[in-house]
Amino acid sequence: MTEPARAPSDAHAAVVVRLAQPEDFDAVSAVNRAAYAEYAAFMEPERIARYLDNAGDVRSRQEVSDLLVAELDGKIVGSLTYYTPGPRSEAQRWPAEWAGLRLLAVAPSARGLGIGRLLMEASMERARSEGAPVIALHTTEMMEIARNMYERMGFVRVPEYDWVPSSGRGAMAYKFNLQPAD
């Protein structure tokens, strides 16, 4: 996960995907808030404020998840929260043997470089190495660009795992089978 990977749209840009360190948390929080701010048009002001606070609160998830970051030219430009198979993933409403993902974020200034896909691929590789048969995530209607990327990568809908939070706005479940079918 520490090997540099080339962003597909810029052969000269070396993107490093790695586990976040505590000194990265403020930068990750800023990236998450900036990335999710685009959804303000879809939410009431109080709700978007809570949503951005949650997305930016990377410290509170450290006991139950791992944070992957994408670094470009020494600057954090993306992140993804990863839940290992077992109780961590179960807490995210997935079967215990599945790995789970949450809060894929790419800084607006770094979009179009393939960073989101690199973070997804790194998490899929990690889940495979941990023996997870499936990796799963929730997304929403308003996250069309992300949904399209997940579907291009081979994620499929699993509506039986959809989640409707107290806000009433549903979260759509997707999974990717990591093990080849027999």
CATH number at residue 57: 3.40.630.30
Q: What range does the domain containing 27 cover?
A: 4-177
Q: Say if residues 124 and 17 touch (Cβ distance below 8 Å).
A: no
Task: Select the more confidently predicted residue: 90 or 43.
Answer: 90
DSSP 5-21: EE-TT-TT-EEEEEE--
Distance (Å, whole) CA 2 – CA 51:
30
Q: Say if residues 157 and 176 touch (Cβ distance below 8 Å).
A: no
What confidence category does residue 163 fall into, taking pLDDT thresholds of 50, 70 and 90? Answer: confident
Q: Is residue 35 part of a domain?
A: yes
Q: Is residue 21 part of a domain?
A: yes
Flag whether pLDDT at 11 surpasses 50. Answer: no
Distance (Å, whole) CA 161 – CA 182:
24
Whole-number average pLDDT of the chain: 83
Distance (Å, whole) CA 112 – CA 127:
25
For the chain, the residue count is: 182
Q: Say if residues 124 and 82 touch (Cβ distance below 8 Å).
A: no
pTM of the model: 0.83
Q: Is residue 31 part of a domain?
A: yes
CA distances 148 to 63, 105, 116, 119, 168, Å, are 31, 15, 12, 16, 23
Please report the pLDDT score of residue 137 as a whole number.
93
Q: Is residue 15 part of a domain?
A: yes
Q: Is residue 182 part of a domain?
A: no
CB atoms within 10 A of CB 171: 17
Domain count, the chain: 1
What confidence category does residue 9 fall into, taking pLDDT thresholds of 50, 70 and 90? Answer: very low
Distance (Å, whole) CA 169 – CA 142:
10
pLDDT tens for each residue of 17-29:
999 999 999 899 8
pLDDT tens for each residue of 63-98:
878 999 999 999 999 999 999 998 887 778 899 999
Crossing angle for the helix pair 144-153 and 115-129, nearest 10 degrees? 50
